[in-house]
Structure 1
Amino acid sequence: MHYDFVPMPHRKPLRWPDGKRLAIILTTNFEYWDRAREDPKPFYPGGPGIVGGELAGNVYDNPNWTWREYGQRVGVWRMFDVFDAEGVPSSCTMNAKMALERKAVVDAAVQKGWELVPHNYVQTDLLTDFAHDKEKEREVIRRTLDIYREAVGKPAKGWLSSSLRSTMNTVDILADEGLIFTTDLLNDDQPYLVRTASGKKMVSVPYTSEVNDFTIFMRQGQTADGGFAVFKEQFDWLYAESEVSGRHMNLGLHPHVIGQPFRIRALRDFIRYAKRFEGVWFATREEIAEWYLENHESHIPTADGAGEGAA
């Protein structure tokens, strides 16, 4: 994986289609956790728990597992009601095992015509487990993409790794499999191109770990009013900047967190607030990536020497 370091002042103004200023992605993460595994070594849960303490990996963790399952049974449907009532789509990410174990959730998003993005096979496994074995990582990605294709009815266009834990090989593998965007990188408010070993172009459509219900509610302890204030503050500043050059804002949402009755108002109130502004685009990642592939030269030219470094 390689991308040029191009600081914001060195870019041309980004102009979204149809005169839009700020692209907003409302990300709903469909995630599945196995109850336990054979290995007694504690496994990474892919997100904070509601009850502290660490159990062996082969021991069922009842409060944390059922708290997360609340999102599948109740919380996600509450979120769907909000999105439908406000007339905006969600860009959903999905573990492959959601399609196998919680098919009703995936089917509902498909029926609504919403975007779904592959999000690893299962939330408790990480691609970094295969950081030094590219072919095993490829196997996991292919297995996920095969299940995705069957569940969604079309090939995937992009990818989000569980807990954003990708490897230096992930983007190259995704390009080899015909994908056009990754959302693992956290380093920008605009899309940009990532170079791959095959020469195929990959677009970074950044995710966020800060404007994220885990961070806002679980780590910071914000109320619904506090959560809305964070969403609004992010929006207001980016919207002001977008007068000069387009920006992208992502909300990272998890049904067992934001889908709780005492938090959901933060999401509803933010959507209502954002809809009041001209030039707001409730976009999908695929729309952004496909547009950027056609228009990236007007933003960050790819001529030799365009960057001031590399990553």
Structure 2
Amino acid sequence: MSLIYDGRLPGHDRFDYLPITRRPDYAWPNGARLAVYLGFNIEHFAFGEGMGAAIGPACPHPDVLNYAWREYGNRVGAWRCLELFDRLGLPAAAIVNTALYEHCPELVAACVARGDELVAHGHTNAERQGELDETHERRLLTLCRDRIRAESGLAPKGWLSPWISESRATPDLLAETGYRYTLNWCHDDQPVPMRTRSGPASLWAVPYPQELNDIPMIVARQMDAKDFARMIVDNADEMLEQSAGQPLVMGVALHPYIVGQPYRLRHLRSALEHLARLRDAGEIWFATPGPICEHAAVHWAD
């Protein structure tokens, strides 16, 4: 491969570079400058094949240790998290694999009953979407959209790829199959319009965290739960100061097989109580990605 020392490097042409200091200025509802949401990832994995987060030492398939560890999230951890969200009156974006409708439909129904926004997250996290050809990827997006609409009453507006895996055509296909926004891109602190084959601003990128995310922090970097909770608090306080200059979005990505473990939930509880106090004081707007996207789209269009 030859080296390129001048000229423009290959790019994606999905959006232009625009510093956050040169954006339209606006406020979130109720005059808040910082919007906060919980990305509550509820996932199901194939047994004895495919991919899966290795929380403990990985073993050859069937990897009973890691499969069972992850399944704790659906059986116990998610329910404990929902109890906590209910206690604090916090909405969540339930980011769901459609395989949950066969495996544990009660869990998805509980999120719907709470009024949570459902975000499509592929069929299973045992597979990578980016390895599919365009025909099969379009079919995946369509099947997930239609299944969520049939089972839960409303087609999802948002998408998060399993493992954040995209093909070159993923943004185009998302726009063409009726999705309004993607959580795949973590390049900004505001919702950003994207170009697709359907035209400019035909899809939006809503910030999804790879830092305030329990998998990279607790699993990959082996951060203690109390430090992860402190990280959430520090990030909120710092972004509140920064939001004096621009309206900002802060997401917190949670997986119930990780933060639903009792001692981690204890520390998460303290962090979410801090966010609830900020909400009650009117300093933040606690929402879900769909309303955040729509509010930003109105002001970018002004």
What is the TM-score normalised by the length of structure 2? 0.90
Judge conservation of contact 2:97–2:125 (CA < 8 Å) in 1: yes
- Cα distance in 2 for partners of 1:147, 1:175 equals 18
Q: Which AA in structure 1 matches 2:196? A: T
Taking the TM superposition and a 5 Å limit, the aligned residue runs for 1:188-267 are: 188-199=188-199, 201-267=202-268
Q: Which AA in structure 1 matches 2:227? A: G
Q: Moved runs in structure 1, 4+ residues, more than 6 A? A: none
- Cα distance in 1 for partners of 2:138, 2:219 equals 33
- Cα distance in 1 for partners of 2:170, 2:150 equals 22
Following superposition, the deviation at residue 293 of structure 1 comes to: 2.2
Judge conservation of contact 2:20–2:246 (CA < 8 Å) in 1: no
Match status 1:168 vs 2:183: no
Q: Which of 12, 33, 40 is 1:28 aligned to?
A: 40
Show structure 1 runs of 5+ residues with no match: 38-42, 299-311
Q: Which residue of 1 aligns with 2:187?
A: 187
Following superposition, the deviation at residue 262 of structure 1 comes to: 0.7
Judge conservation of contact 2:131–2:167 (CA < 8 Å) in 1: no
Q: Which residue of 2 aligns with 1:280?
A: 284
Q: Which residue of 1 aligns with 2:58?
A: 53
- Cα distance in 1 for partners of 2:109, 2:277 equals 31
Judge conservation of contact 1:175–1:202 (CA < 8 Å) in 2: yes
Q: Which AA in structure 2 matches 1:226? A: D
Taking the TM superposition and a 5 Å limit, the aligned residue runs for 1:129-144 are: 129-130=131-132, 133-144=133-144
Q: In structure 1, the residue corresponding to 2:295 is in which secondary structure? A: helix
- Cα distance in 2 for partners of 1:90, 1:53 equals 31
TM-superposition CA deviations, 1:42-76 (whole Å, max 9, x none): x432x3x1222352xxx321111100000000000
Q: Which residue of 1 aligns with 2:29?
A: 17
Q: Which residue of 2 aligns with 1:302?
A: none
- Cα distance in 2 for partners of 1:244, 1:25 equals 20
Q: Which AA in structure 2 matches 1:50? A: I
Judge conservation of contact 1:118–1:144 (CA < 8 Å) in 2: yes
Judge conservation of contact 2:37–2:250 (CA < 8 Å) in 1: yes
Q: Which residue of 1 aligns with 2:101?
A: 99
TM-superposition CA deviations, 1:67-126 (whole Å, max 9, x none): 000000000011011101111111110001012211011010011111110001111111
Match status 1:297 vs 2:301: yes
Judge conservation of contact 2:45–2:51 (CA < 8 Å) in 1: no
Q: In structure 2, the residue corresponding to 1:245 is in which secondary structure? A: coil
- Cα distance in 1 for partners of 2:164, 2:66 equals 21
Q: Which residue of 2 aligns with 1:305?
A: none
Show structure 2 runs of 5+ residues with no match: 1-12
What is the TM-score normalised by the length of structure 1? 0.88
Q: Which residue of 1 aligns with 2:3?
A: none
- Counting aligned pairs with the same residue, the percent is 31
TM-superposition CA deviations, 1:252-275 (whole Å, max 9, x none): 100000000010122211121123
- Cα distance in 2 for partners of 1:279, 1:236 equals 10
- Cα distance in 1 for partners of 2:97, 2:67 equals 16
Following superposition, the deviation at residue 233 of structure 1 comes to: 1.4
- Cα distance in 2 for partners of 1:270, 1:151 equals 33
Q: Which AA in structure 2 matches 1:263? A: R
Q: Which of 101, 104, 112 is 1:110 aligned to?
A: 112
TM-superposition CA deviations, 1:117-151 (whole Å, max 9, x none): 00011111111112xx2111111111211211122
- Cα distance in 2 for partners of 1:163, 1:33 equals 12
Judge conservation of contact 1:32–1:123 (CA < 8 Å) in 2: yes
- Cα distance in 2 for partners of 1:50, 1:156 equals 29
Q: Which residue of 1 aligns with 2:51?
A: 44
What is the aligned residue count?
286
